[in-house]
Amino acid sequence: MSVKYTEEHEWVKIDGETATVGITKYAAEQLGDVVFVELPEVGKAYGKGDDMAVVESVKAASDVYAPVSGECVEANDKLADAPETVNEAPEGEGWFAKLKLSNTSELDALMDEAAYKTFCEGL
């Protein structure tokens, strides 16, 4: 199972034709304490770069973008009652959605972990 990253600080964990999407630890730290998450709509198709979700913290509200194109097949409903999970486990239990990939070639444009780490060091 490979993990890819975007410059907008989303991560994508690939498992066959399904991509689990969330925000990175870096993004969660920048946001501060998350107090609300608006999840993507199950059954809706998202294009790469589309607004997919919203995360609100004590500091700001931020959009979460679809890092790849696909149909939302599952949303992490646990975040509605426990948005702090995004801070506690951003790259684990704090995932936002699972997308059924519609264009796997889009994954090639995303960064691997080493490239993402280098990208963050330059910020």
Radius of gyration of the chain (CA): 13
- In order of start, what are the domains of the chain with their CATH numbers? 2-103 (2.40.50.100)
Per-residue pLDDT of the chain (123 residues; tens, 9 = 90+): 799 999 999 999 999 999 999 999 999 999 999 999 999 999 999 999 999 999 999 988 999 999 999 999 999 999 999 999 999 999 999 999 999 999 999 999 999 999 999 999 999
Q: What is the pLDDT at residue 58?
A: 92
Task: Return the pLDDT at 1.
Answer: 75
Entry pTM: 0.95
Strands 61-65 and 51-57: antiparallel
